[in-house]
Amino acid sequence: MTSRKMTAEKIEDVSALAVRAYELIVGSQTEGLTQNMVWKMLGLSSRDGSRLVTGLEKRGLIRREKVVDGGRWTYKLIPVTYPAVVRSIETIPCTTCEFEPQCKLGGIVNPITCPPEREGNGLADWVIREFRAFRPG
């Protein structure tokens, strides 16, 4: 019984592997990676890899899609949610906007109409730029 308990160190290792697997899958953008590729990159057995992937799927971070790869059925792992990108937040126009103190939902100055004076550098422009940068094509 004691031998089946996970030590704190082991839990940390599994968490680090889960984070690494998630990073790999997110790095594939919307294309996804086959589970075999992820297991191979992490040096995991199919049993351990499968457990890891199941955990990510249960957390709603990825989804699995059944595909044929090299004539064999496998699962493609596709990201569902993406981590926040700090670099992106650093460039949000609101941080340097002269209208920011008055800007609020329902106000005369608001994020929906984001004043025309900010042409090309309004909130909608920033959202579109960041979306394109994150998901090219």
Residue 109 is a binding residue for ligand SF4 (CB under 6 A)? yes
- Alpha carbon distances (Å) from 124 to 96, 120, 129: 15, 9, 9
Query: In this structure, are residues 123 and 135 in contact, taking their beta carbons and an 8 Å threshold?
Result: no
Rounded Cα distance, 129 and 137, in Å: 12
β 33-34/72-79 pair status? antiparallel
Question: By rule CB under 6 A, what string of x and - marks binding of each residue 78-107 to ligand SF4?
Answer: ---------------xx--x-xx--x----
Residue 127 is a binding residue for ligand SF4 (CB under 6 A)? no
Q: Give the nearest distance from C-beta 97 to ligand SF4 in angstroms.
A: 3
Q: Give the nearest distance from C-beta 47 to ligand SF4 in angstroms.
A: 50
Residue 111 is a binding residue for ligand SF4 (CB under 6 A)? yes
